[in-house]
Amino acid sequence: MLEINELTHRYGDQTVLAGLNLKVAQGELVSLVGPSGCGKSTLLRCVAGLIRPTGGQIVLNGNPIDGVPDDLAVVFQDYSRSLFPWLSVRDNVALPLRRKGKGRSARRAAAQEALESVGLGDAGRKFPWQLSGGMQQRVSIARALAYRPSLLLMDEPFGSVDAQTREDLEDLVLRVHRDGGMTILLVTHDIDESVYVGDRVVVLARNPGRVRAELPVGLPSARDQIETRGLPEFVRLRAEVGRLVRGSATGDGAAAGSPAGGTTGSLRKDDWHD
């Protein structure tokens, strides 16, 4: 469903991605890890159509990406900048659905359903700033879910919440992935998390930025924060990914966004509310 071929990206004379190849299958959850600065966010932004790569090609569902694809949603780490503070929680979730041509009542119903699926069914009338950080990130995830993208991109989505909330959100993503069969590409700095949520862990190398290793995660699909992390396969994979990331950092052996669904177009202020 997603094919990245010989992707290259330069900022000025700094080459960040250099001939990166990656394929993601329909319904797969791929964790993307790598040393700081190896280009994980750059890769995600190229896939989201937010920056135009200097070389190579990205194909989503058979269509080369050239601009923000309609069929994609992004969840960023910084939820405080990706939610609109002047819109209610429900309006934030419903807004991108306009791109799908849905009527007002269908947008409201889809927003409510998505909010319920992340445990925020009662929060629709509140404003984002009335919620905790973890709840705001749930709203961002609900917005992405309501949009029903064929591909969900997540850039360090749990990087700004406390440890307990982080575990809850990891389990939430696993549940929506399992229930909805969504294809997900998730960037994380946390090696344990990459193994815990992933069907596959892809390790990027720095200088040059390309795929260093791909490790299938042979864990049971039903995961549990305590039991799964104690399994020998989990411990083995965590150590292997950790070694690969450190090796990638030393060069040994060798990615405010826009809301889900892309840009909001040219809405006037009065047009925002549902």
Ligand X SMILES: Nc1ncnc2c1ncn2[C@@H]1O[C@H](COP(=O)(O)OP(=O)(O)OP(=O)(O)O)[C@@H](O)[C@H]1O
Q: Is residue 11 a contact residue for ligand X (CB under 6 A)?
A: yes
Residue 181 and residue 111 in contact, taking contact as beta carbons nearer than 8 Å: no
Contacts of 150 (CB under 8 A, 6+ apart): 1, 60, 61, 71, 72, 182, 183
By CB under 6 A, the residues from 35 to 74 that bind ligand X are 36-42
Using the minimum distance from each CB to ligand X, give the nearer residue, 91 or 155: 155
CA distance 50 to 263: 10
Contacts of 179 (CB under 8 A, 6+ apart): none
Least distance from ligand X to the Cβ atom of residue 237, Å: 20
Structure tokens at 200: 């596959």
CA distance 22 to 244: 17
x/- mask, ligand X, residues 159-198, rule CB under 6 A, reads: ------------------------------x---------
Using the minimum distance from each CB to ligand X, give the nearer residue, 37 or 257: 37
Q: Is residue 137 a contact residue for ligand X (CB under 6 A)?
A: no
Q: Is residue 255 a contact residue for ligand X (CB under 6 A)?
A: yes
The contacts found for 68-72 with CB under 8 angstroms, 24 or more apart, are 68/258, 68/262, 68/263, 69/151, 69/262, 70/99, 70/261, 70/262, 71/149, 71/150, 71/151, 72/47, 72/48, 72/149, 72/150, 72/151, 72/152, 72/153, 72/261, 72/262
Least distance from ligand X to the Cβ atom of residue 16, Å: 4
Least distance from ligand X to the Cβ atom of residue 246, Å: 14
Using the minimum distance from each CB to ligand X, give the nearer residue, 32 or 94: 32
Q: Give the containing element (helix H, strand E) for 80.
A: helix 79-82
Using the minimum distance from each CB to ligand X, give the nearer residue, 37 or 180: 37
Of 2, 4, 16, 110, the residue at the interface with ligand X (CB under 6 A) is 16
Using the minimum distance from each CB to ligand X, give the nearer residue, 52 or 236: 52
Least distance from ligand X to the Cβ atom of residue 40, Å: 4
Give bridge partners of residue 59 from the DSSP assignment.
3, 64
Q: Is residue 32 a contact residue for ligand X (CB under 6 A)?
A: no
Using the minimum distance from each CB to ligand X, give the nearer residue, 36 or 105: 36
Distance between the two ends of the chain, CA-based, in angstroms?
33
Using the minimum distance from each CB to ligand X, give the nearer residue, 11 or 129: 11
Write the DSSP symbol of residue 95. Answer: G
Stretch that binds ligand X, among 19-27, 33-41, 86-94, 146-154 (CB under 6 A): 33-41
Least distance from ligand X to the Cβ atom of residue 31, Å: 13
Q: 206: helix, coil or strand?
A: coil
Give bridge partners of residue 30 from the DSSP assignment.
185, 200
Q: Is residue 248 a contact residue for ligand X (CB under 6 A)?
A: no
Instruction: Write out the residues near ligand X by the rule CB under 6 A.
Output: 11, 16, 34, 36-42, 189, 255
